[in-house]
Amino acid sequence: MISPAVSSTEQVYHSLREDIVSGKLTPGEKLVTERLATTYGVSRTPVREAIQRLERDRLVKIEPNCGAIIRKMPLDEACDWYMVRALLEEMAVRKMMEKPVSPEIIKRLRQYCADHHTATTLAERVNNDRNFHETIYRAANSNVLTELLDNQRIMLSSFTGSVMTMRTLSHDGKVDTEHEQIVQAIEAGDCERAARLTRKHLESASEFLKKMNRSID
């Protein structure tokens, strides 16, 4: 049920967006206005308005004679976004390390590394990976970088959600190793190495998406 403290449209919008980002709603899935209105306990108007906002966010596509469906981002567009993300997160690491990084941040990063390594489900791995990267760029204390990277993560979600179901144990092991190397560089105060490893990590993610997309095709 929608809380009266926030507009119905706003709450439906954020709920639907989170379901898309988390992979609960998958690319190609149809959004049925009447069903969603019943789910959220609202009229159809807030649902339609929320879907229109999601279309402007490029998370939803309106197709003639079909209605609203979750948009699947084209491979080339997703890879471009990953290259942008690599540059932005490199900047975030450099800004974060302008001052000594607190032990609490290091502790959280190591915990996310450990949780990713022991995760048994895709959702857990994706969530820990997201937490790891968010911890770094939020620690940069830059509203601009945080907003850009938050929006970029949301933009990529409709593509990576389906492709990441193809992740293998060997790839997850590679992610574990790369994350640990980044943490080691941050803890050692080696800004150049931490920034370089972060950029390389995300650039390799772009290559992984290309590889896994070819296997899906």
pLDDT at 195: 98
Identify the CA nearest to 152 among candidates 134, 169, 172: 134
Going by DSSP bridges, is the β-strand pair 60-63/67-70 parallel, antiparallel, or unpaired? antiparallel
Q: Which CATH class is domain 75-216?
A: mainly alpha
Per residue of the chain (217 residues), what is the pLDDT tens digit? 445 546 899 999 999 988 887 778 888 899 999 999 999 899 999 999 999 999 998 899 998 888 999 988 888 888 888 889 999 999 999 999 999 999 999 999 999 999 988 888 777 887 888 899 999 999 999 999 999 999 888 877 766 655 555 555 556 678 889 999 999 999 999 999 999 999 999 988 778 777 766 655 5
Tell me the CATH architecture of domain 8-70: Orthogonal Bundle (1.10)
CA 18/CA 13 separation, integer angstroms:
9
pLDDT at 1: 47
Per-domain residue ranges of the chain: 8-70, 75-216
pLDDT at 121: 78
pLDDT at 5: 45
Identify the CA nearest to 138 among candidates 175, 182, 93: 93
pTM to 2 decimal places:
0.78
Q: DSSP 3-state assignment of 47?
A: helix
Do residues 131 and 112 touch, judged by C-beta distance below 8 A? yes
Q: Is 68 exposed, middle or buried (0-12, 13-18, 19+ CB in 10 A)?
A: buried
